[in-house]
Chain A
């Protein structure tokens, strides 16, 4: 993800000779626990704390949204008010005070008073449009928002709004739409209206309802029929303001016979109060299309007791609508104080394929409750679930997954493997699978194991001259290999490094 060229641009003294990860290393030395823990100071427009119908209307007005979008928000808000905050997962948190959050925050830029981002802009004038402090923040994170990395197009989201979307013209030539969600509402309203809420309805769950009411920004992707998207599309989320919730809404549509690989990365500065992240992602995969959706989640986990970390309550779901469609979720989760996340596949088309590859690492007092749902509807649908949970410190790491075979899913197959590794004796590793089979021709296999990094393994490595730290990272990466091999190369590298950082000091 890092791009030395941008760094040079912003910091003329230059570090281009040093390795690709130099800037990360530099940041690391500043804060050994959390490398993305810096705060960007810029002039910001932030709504007063609190949520009510007026706030929902104000957000919609701020974004100059059409009537139907406001209606969608209001319906969701009305429904949200009737719901209770869920506490069923294996994660404990004190009920949140939703009136203590701000539901809209955006950096202002001098020239156009915050309008430019929703109006869109051209890439060559990027420095004039993006707040330089914001640009610097993304540069420090290694996100190439200037659009000069050949292999990836990026949508960068800063608190509530998308600040830049690169490579748009190149993609437009292929008919690919890649823009912020707010822009899509303006520019492609009929498409947004057609798909929003079809995979994750506003009444789906508590946080999905909240998201639908106050959705800030997000990414919209449409890949037209038969187009093989030549580059990776990527969104980078950053929460900067204190006490701000980020509620992004992402919609990705892959039309017949198309292909896209989509990546998202997340971070937030060090704060001492919980920040809320309640995103909704909807993916629609048509006949013969394939979507690879990869996430590296490194939200701020909080201090040593995980106070102040991000609460990451996310609803991600994909509908494999057409025949032979394929959706693959890959995630490396190392951040957040609490993570609830179950990227799911509804396998509706015959021969549809759903995949879920996950590495979740928890340390200190982090709590992760993550997994997937594979709903088999179509004939000969297949799903694979590979989940690797690593628990260290005093953390709890839970796999929760559902495999449901409906009566129509003739010949469906599922293979699930969830392995846990415990590092230290204060942590917990849990596996809660739900397997529901209503068709006898289905074949379901579920395996789970628990292991640990053993003293004898460490001694064996040490006796060969390998330091304990290296031995641990070697064993951990070996444990996670099946999942990392599904990530795009640079992401895999980043994920490995994140693991090493997150595990520092957890053994011995």
Chain B
């Protein structure tokens, strides 16, 4: 159906279609061109969502639509410049600069263990003639407006395959770094784990240099990741979004799980003026475990949006979620969770919890924890609570001699970090804790005043 699109949005649509056409002119992979063309048609039809769309009523795209991000070539940076973004434990490093894979800055990926194959998507497109198999969930992805935009500008990302029983000793650390203003880092990743394979993946999204307030330095990252988990696979993922406070961040993850697979996905969000991270989990087998946690921190006029759509499609599935938000200044927090239990999915256990702390008078939290249940022998619940720090808690700590400001700090800290406990690798957990603590410290300086 043709929608009414505002003149401002029309301009943005025209801009992105022109970008897409430009990419297509320089491309000889037919299946890739086709994907982009389909997306062009969809974008022309739909434009960008507005507040009238149920899924966007709390997440305003006004600023985004006014910007016209371009897909530019990557700028050159040195490994010294990267150093400060690396964790203090051993990892296998993969670097993307402005959305383009950088081989020289990454570890030697040819040396990965047997059964593990890593390719940049650009290489895959260049080598393989028919890449249509890579787009098996295209119809699902283009249901999301930023999925459409991702297909429209599709150019690079990674394609990671683990064969049966394979696993990586070290966590795979994917660093996504924005260096250019006005730029769109458009990433499409695909991960496939064959039976009994195991992977620990860390993704970090950063900006090379913190920008000043001017518009020219703003950049945007738009990611789509598809994860296919075969039987008995174990997938652990940590995503840290720490881009510059002017940036935009969109991420849609599609995770397909088969029998007895387990998936743990943690999202930590601190940066960007507008960030939206969305998990689409399809539990298409028996005895699947799925854990999704997030810790979101927002200040100034940031909008942080985290959402999950968990589809229980078979028996004995177990999904657990804990999402926590700390908001201050004029920040807006949005949580939207859906647990859908198919008629076939008896014995489902689905729990979703969302808790929010508002540290200022002007912060705002919008939350929608939803259940849609079609099977009768299930255990499902959701809970949501929003409010200030409990005065009694503060007083209790004060009564033990702790200064008020420290008491607030301690309580807030403990509140935000609870979802982190799900990360069972101690080194990774400590690293995430340190990142979030640093973020909190900068927020709390303001609160103390």
- Report if A and B touch in the complex (beta carbons < 8 A): yes
Q: Which residues of A are in contact with B by a Cβ distance under 8 Å?
A: 88, 407, 420, 422-452, 454
Partner of B374, one of A428, A435, A443: A428
A425-B375, A429-B373, A440-B358 provided; 15 other pairs, C-beta below 8 A? A407-B362, A420-B371, A429-B371, A430-B370, A430-B371, A430-B372, A433-B368, A434-B368, A436-B58, A439-B361, A440-B359, A443-B386, A444-B386, A448-B369, A450-B380
B372 and A433 contact, CB distance less than 8 A: no
Q: How far is the CB of B55 from chain A (nearest CB, A)?
A: 12
Find the B residue at minimum CB distance from A397.
Answer: B373
Bound complex: CA of A190 vs CA of B375, how far in Å? 54
B371 and A436 contact, CB distance less than 8 A: no
Q: Which residues of A contact B386 (CB under 8 A)?
A: 435, 437, 442-444
Q: Which residues of A contact B367 (CB under 8 A)?
A: 433, 435-437
Any A CB within 8 A of the CB of B363: yes
Bound complex: CA of A440 vs CA of B388, how far in Å? 6
A447 and B377 contact, CB distance less than 8 A: no
Q: How far is the CB of A370 from chain B (nearest CB, A)?
A: 15
A444 and B363 contact, CB distance less than 8 A: no
Q: Which residues in chain B, 326-381, are within 8 Å of chain A measured between CB atoms?
A: 343, 346, 356, 358-381
**Interface residue SS majority, chain B:** strand
> Chain B, 29-54, contact with A by CB distance < 8 Å: what is the 0/1 string?
00000000000000000000000001
B371 and A431 contact, CB distance less than 8 A: yes
Q: Which residues of B contact A452 (CB under 8 A)?
A: 376-378
Q: How far is the CB of B334 from chain A (nearest CB, A)?
A: 10
Q: How far is the CB of A248 from chain B (nearest CB, A)?
A: 31
Q: Which residues of A contact B399 (CB under 8 A)?
A: none
Bound complex: CA of A349 vs CA of B343, how far in Å? 45
Bound complex: CA of A448 vs CA of B384, how far in Å? 9
Bound complex: CA of A422 vs CA of B343, how far in Å? 12
> Chain B, 244-264, contact with A by CB distance < 8 Å: what is the 0/1 string?
000000000000000000000
Q: Which residues of A contact B363 (CB under 8 A)?
A: 440
Bound complex: CA of A437 vs CA of B325, how far in Å? 13
Partner of A447, one of B54, B359, B360, B381: B381
User: Most chain-B CB neighbours within 10 Å: which of A407, A430, A441, A450?
Assistant: A450
Bound complex: CA of A429 vs CA of B340, how far in Å? 10
Q: Which residues of B contact A420 (CB under 8 A)?
A: 371, 373
Bound complex: CA of A440 vs CA of B359, how far in Å? 7
Bound complex: CA of A407 vs CA of B362, how far in Å? 7
B376 and A423 contact, CB distance less than 8 A: yes
Partner of A437, one of B356, B371, B372: B356
Q: Which 3 A-B pairs have the closest CB atoms?
A: A440-B358, A422-B376, A443-B387
Bound complex: CA of A88 vs CA of B54, how far in Å? 10
Q: Which residues in chain B, 158-192, are within 8 Å of chain A measured between CB atoms?
A: none
Any A CB within 8 A of the CB of B15: no
Given contacts A442-B387, A445-B385, contact A425 B377 (CB under 8 A): yes
Any A CB within 8 A of the CB of B383: yes
Bound complex: CA of A247 vs CA of B379, how far in Å? 41
Bound complex: CA of A450 vs CA of B374, how far in Å? 11
Q: Which residues in chain B, 275-309, are within 8 Å of chain A measured between CB atoms?
A: none
Q: Which residues of B contact A447 (CB under 8 A)?
A: 381-383
Q: Which residues of A contact B361 (CB under 8 A)?
A: 407, 439-440
Q: Which residues of A contact B378 (CB under 8 A)?
A: 450, 452
A450 and B377 contact, CB distance less than 8 A: no
B373 and A450 contact, CB distance less than 8 A: yes
Number of A-B contacts (CB under 8 A): 110
A446 and B384 contact, CB distance less than 8 A: yes
Given contacts A428-B374, A429-B371, A448-B371, contact A437 B365 (CB under 8 A): yes
Bound complex: CA of A88 vs CA of B359, how far in Å? 35
Q: How far is the CB of A180 from chain B (nearest CB, A)?
A: 39
Bound complex: CA of A457 vs CA of B89, how far in Å? 53
B379 and A431 contact, CB distance less than 8 A: no
Bound complex: CA of A444 vs CA of B161, how far in Å? 45
Q: Which residues of B contact A407 (CB under 8 A)?
A: 361-362
Bound complex: CA of A420 vs CA of B339, how far in Å? 14
Q: Which residues of B are in contact with A by a Cβ distance under 8 Å?
A: 54, 58, 343, 346, 356, 358-388
Q: How far is the CB of A48 from chain B (nearest CB, A)?
A: 35
Q: How far is the CB of A497 from chain B (nearest CB, A)?
A: 25
Bound complex: CA of A430 vs CA of B378, how far in Å? 13
Q: How far is the CB of A377 from chain B (nearest CB, A)?
A: 15
Q: How far is the CB of A269 from chain B (nearest CB, A)?
A: 33
25 A-B contact pairs sorted by A residue (CB < 8 Å): A422-B373, A422-B376, A425-B346, A427-B376, A428-B372, A430-B372, A430-B373, A433-B367, A435-B365, A435-B368, A435-B384, A436-B367, A437-B365, A441-B387, A443-B385, A443-B387, A444-B385, A446-B384, A447-B381, A447-B383, A448-B369, A448-B371, A448-B381, A450-B371, A450-B379
Q: Which residues of B contact A433 (CB under 8 A)?
A: 367-370, 384
Bound complex: CA of A432 vs CA of B388, how far in Å? 24
A432 and B368 contact, CB distance less than 8 A: yes
Find the A residue at minimum CB distance from B344.
Answer: A425
A431 and B376 contact, CB distance less than 8 A: no
Bound complex: CA of A451 vs CA of B381, how far in Å? 9
Q: How far is the CB of A475 from chain B (nearest CB, A)?
A: 14
B370 and A432 contact, CB distance less than 8 A: yes
A448 and B373 contact, CB distance less than 8 A: no
Bound complex: CA of A440 vs CA of B385, how far in Å? 12
Find the A residue at minimum CB distance from B360.
Answer: A440
Bound complex: CA of A438 vs CA of B379, how far in Å? 32
Find the B residue at minimum CB distance from A399.
Answer: B371
Q: How far is the CB of A444 from chain B (nearest CB, A)?
A: 4
Given contacts A440-B358, A440-B359, A440-B363, contact A428 B383 (CB under 8 A): no
Q: Which residues of B contact A424 (CB under 8 A)?
A: 376
A441 and B388 contact, CB distance less than 8 A: yes
Find the B residue at minimum CB distance from A434.
Answer: B368
Find the A residue at minimum CB distance from B332.
Answer: A438
Q: Which residues of A contact B372 (CB under 8 A)?
A: 428, 430-431
Q: Which residues of A contact B375 (CB under 8 A)?
A: 422, 425
Q: Which residues of A contact B374 (CB under 8 A)?
A: 427-428
B381 and A449 contact, CB distance less than 8 A: yes
Given contacts A440-B360, A444-B384, contact A426 B371 (CB under 8 A): no
Q: How far is the CB of B330 from chain A (nearest CB, A)?
A: 11
Given contacts A436-B364, A440-B363, contact A446 B376 (CB under 8 A): no
Find the B residue at minimum CB distance from A418.
Answer: B371
Q: Which residues of B contact A432 (CB under 8 A)?
A: 368, 370
Find the B residue at minimum CB distance from A443.
Answer: B387
Q: Which residues of A contact B383 (CB under 8 A)?
A: 445-448
Q: Which residues of B contact A88 (CB under 8 A)?
A: 54
Find the B residue at minimum CB distance from A425.
Answer: B376
Find the B residue at minimum CB distance from A441.
Answer: B388
B382 and A431 contact, CB distance less than 8 A: yes
Q: How far is the CB of A367 from chain B (nearest CB, A)?
A: 14
Partner of A431, one of B343, B364, B370: B370
Find the A residue at minimum CB distance from B352.
Answer: A448
User: Most chain-B CB neighbours within 10 Å: which of A88, A427, A438?
Assistant: A438
Bound complex: CA of A65 vs CA of B388, how far in Å? 53
Q: Which residues of B contact A446 (CB under 8 A)?
A: 369, 382-385
Bound complex: CA of A426 vs CA of B346, how far in Å? 12
Q: Which residues of B contact A442 (CB under 8 A)?
A: 386-387
Find the A residue at minimum CB distance from B338.
Answer: A432
Bound complex: CA of A434 vs CA of B383, how far in Å? 12
Q: Which residues of A contact B387 (CB under 8 A)?
A: 440-444
Bound complex: CA of A438 vs CA of B369, how far in Å? 18
Given contacts A426-B343, A428-B372, A442-B386, contact A450 B381 (CB under 8 A): yes
User: Most chain-A CB neighbours within 10 Å: which of B363, B364, B371, B374?
Assistant: B371
Find the A residue at minimum CB distance from B372.
Answer: A430
Given contacts A443-B387, A445-B385, A448-B381, contact A437 B373 (CB under 8 A): no
Bound complex: CA of A436 vs CA of B363, how far in Å? 11
Q: How far is the CB of B337 from chain A (nearest CB, A)?
A: 11
Q: Which residues of B contact A451 (CB under 8 A)?
A: 379
B364 and A437 contact, CB distance less than 8 A: yes
Q: How far is the CB of B50 from chain A (nearest CB, A)?
A: 15
